[in-house]
Amino acid sequence: MEINAELVDKLAMLSRLHFNGEEKAAVKEDLQKMIGFIEKLNELDTTDVKPLLQIGNNVNVFREDVLLQEISREEALLNAPVKDPSFFKVPKVIKK
């Protein structure tokens, strides 16, 4: 695949980018290198290669839940815009 000025202009328009002459030449060269790399990868035979799902051997590594800080009900309700003595009040969202 050849990268030409029209393709660079179209990609710039689609991505809402603006390039001057030097930048357009650099983008064209970079795109050509990327396409060349992909074409080189396409030459490899990967029929017996399993897909890599994870980089490491660790699976589902979780930390223990640790209680760090408790706040009282009164402290939790301090900044609530609408509340009663024990609960946050929220607008009704389910209609019957």
Model confidence pLDDT, tens digit, residues 74-91 = 888 988 999 888 899 988
Identity (one letter) of the amino acid at 60? N
What is the reported pLDDT for 62? 86
d(CA 41, CA 34): 11
pLDDT at 59: 76
CA angle, corner 74, sides to 69 and 76, nearest 5?
55
* pTM (global) more than 0.85: no
Q: What is the pLDDT of residues 7-49, one digit of tens each?
A: 999 999 999 999 998 999 999 999 999 999 999 988 989 889 8
Return the number of other C-beta atoms located less than 10 Å from residue 79's C-beta. Answer: 7
What are the phi and psi torsion angles at 21 (to 5°)? -60, -45
Average pLDDT over residues 42-67: 84
State the pLDDT confidence band at 65, using cuts at 50, 70 and 90: confident
